[in-house]
Amino acid sequence: MFPLTLTLWAIISLSFTFCSGWGLDPEVLLAQESPQAQSFSPAVSLASLSHSEFAKLAHPFFPNHSVRIKKSQFCDETVNTYTGYIDIEARHIFFYFFESRNNPATDDVIFWTNGGPGCSSSLGLFMELGPCRVSGSNSTVFHPESWNTNANVFFVDQPIGVGFSYADYGEFVGTTEDAAKDIAVFISLFFENFSEFKGRPFHMSGESYGGRYLPLFASAVYDQNARLIAAGLTPINLQSVMIGNGMTDSFKMILSYYDMACTPASVKPVVNIGPCVAMKATVSRCEKWMKTSCEEKYDAINCGAAVNFCRSTYSIPFRATGLNVYDISKPCEGGPSDLCYPQTRVIRDYLDNPSVRATIGVDSHLTKNFTSCSADVGRAFGATQDVLHPTADYVASLLERGVRVLIYVGTYDWICNHVGNERWTMALDWSGKNEFSSTALRDWIVGGKSAGKTRSAKGFTFATITGAGHMVPYDKPKESLELIQRWISGKDL
């Protein structure tokens, strides 16, 4: 959520890069394949957790990781709620966990992350798909279309430095590959300690920069499974990945900004004719420049230059309109820190309330005002040009291994729009490409009316949500819930 006005343009303007391997160190993991790991049994159950103190969970297979978790009854009084930290030595990742309103003992589990890079998943929780909406600095209201209607849902503030997540010595994660390591271990650690969820269908979801995060996160979970099995542990039942308005291929997305601003791809053209003519004249040049310097052979300096020129050419005329980059149908509202949505200010006030922090167990030394999106994390990812590494090939690899993938997009979003997302899904090189790309778009129906367009083949689905912006669950909560419920149940849209 809300990623790219704050951080993408800083990320893609820097001119050096490095990437570390996202897989967990095989030597470390194999060293843990022991009778001790195989005979481990959890010391606590969710039902036994305290409201006042954290329980600390560990596992010999993951010697550098542990979890602190407590009951934190807030937001949704109809279900059990838990909060805590994933502790990775001197680094600490905050999370929320809400049980299903339906049947937590049998319902699927969903992981959710917001984007940025650097934006807190509390925005997704309190503004989009969570079980409550914040109404004041000390109050919430019940949200009937929450995704925990039929699923157990995690919201994770990741990577380090986002929301209430922090490092003891102030360091930040700067690549999605590094962030994936911690997420994969946390997921296994949770399922190993709370056996009631072992083997449960698991879905990884998020939006915006989640288009970069999730394909790598899910791949790390999938590849880790082989090592878990070898150690006598239960693999994660990874069923699907769900990406909303994602930045999966930044090069195709940048080119799509012309379509969104100067053609009726969503609404009537919003930029004047003169600038649109100038923009159109650069489309072919930008496509070739980014292809040769970024895709065919990655050159950090030339790729950075190409992206800087092209995104400026397309973004400056659009921004001059004053429209909301997350919803092209309306003006941007609020101050610079409100991300075009004054509601984010209310969420910040709520999470700055000392009683709320005490209830959810925020570490007491964290006294700074809550920040929706961390500029420091954005700069750390910018220094590595993280966004300039498309993750479409990870999506293809997951599909080839039987992991279903849903790409859903609100039609009014500009920053991670449906045009760019449809282009990369149609171009994706995988065994189902011909069937997917030859399938015509059709309506998908909610309440007897079209909710958008969709196409599917062999576990891969692209869907638009008509009239929604960047935050589909915020703009179209009924359609969003219907979409997710059909997806996790395996039904056709």
pLDDT tens profile 73-99: 899 999 999 999 989 889 999 999 999
For the chain, the straight-line distance linking the first and the last C-alpha, in angstroms and rounded, comes to 24
In a domain, 120, yes or no: yes
Q: Is residue 3 part of a domain?
A: no
Does the pLDDT at position 437 exceed 90?
yes
CATH (domain of 58):
3.40.50.1820
pLDDT tens-digit readout, 319-347 = 999 999 999 999 999 877 899 999 999 99
Specify the number of domains making up the chain: 1
According to the model, what pLDDT value does residue 61 have? 86
Mean pLDDT value across residues 127-131: 97
**Structural domain includes residue 81:** yes
Q: Is residue 149 part of a domain?
A: yes
Hey, which bits of 176-326 come out as E strands? Answer: 202-208, 238-246, 323-324
User: Mean pLDDT throughout 480-492?
Assistant: 95
- Model pLDDT for residues 231-248, shown as the tens digit of each residue: 999 999 999 999 999 999
Q: Is residue 418 annotated as a catalytic residue, yes or no?
A: no
Q: Which pLDDT value is given to residue 57? A: 85
Specify the pLDDT at position 44. 62
Whole-angstrom distance, CA of residue 387 vs CA of residue 393: 14
361, part of any domain: no
Q: For residue 78, with 0-12 CB atoms within 10 Å meaning exposed, 13-18 middle and 19 or more buried, which class applies?
A: exposed
Catalytic residue (choose from 188, 470, 475, 480): 470
User: Where residue 104 falls among pLDDT bands split at 50, 70, 90?
Assistant: very high
Statement: residue 15 has pLDDT above 70: no
Whether residue 349 lies inside any domain: the answer is no
Give the span between the Cα atoms of 42 and 196, in whole angstroms: 11
So what's the pLDDT on residue 173?
83
Nearest to 55 by CA among 87, 101, 98: 87
Q: Is 51 assigned a catalytic role?
A: no
Mean pLDDT of the chain: 89
pLDDT tens, 261-313?
A: 999 999 999 999 999 999 999 999 999 999 999 999 999 999 999 999 999 99
> Residue 191 domain-assigned?
yes
- Is 352 among the residues known to form the active site? no
> With bands split at pLDDT 50, 70 and 90, how would you rate the model's confidence at 1?
low
pLDDT digits (tens, 9 = 90+) for 355-385: 999 999 999 899 899 999 998 898 989 889 9
Structural domain contains residue 285: no
Check 107, 259, 413, 475 and give the catalytic one. Answer: 413
Instruction: Judge whether residue 43 has pLDDT over 70.
Output: no
Domain that holds residue 49: 8-252+387-488
Q: What is the pLDDT of residue 27?
A: 30
What value does the mean pLDDT take over residues 211-228? 96
Instruction: Please give the model's pTM, rounded to 2 decimal places.
Output: 0.91
DSSP 192-209: HH-GGGTT--EEEEEEET
Helix (H/G/I), strand (E/B), else coil: 359: helix
The pLDDT-based confidence of 5 (bands split at 50, 70, 90) is very low
pLDDT in tens, 160-199: 899 999 999 887 788 999 999 989 988 998 888 888 899 9
Which one, of 157, 164, 97, lies nearest residue 131 by Cα?
97
Among 489, 488, 487, 446, which residue's Cα sits nearest to residue 468? 446
d(CA 291, CA 177): 23
**Residue 241 CB neighbours (<10 A):** 27
| Burial zone of 298 (CB within 10 Å; 0-12 exposed, 13-18 middle, 19+ buried) | middle
Task: Exactly one of 66, 120, 205, 208 is catalytic; name it.
Answer: 208
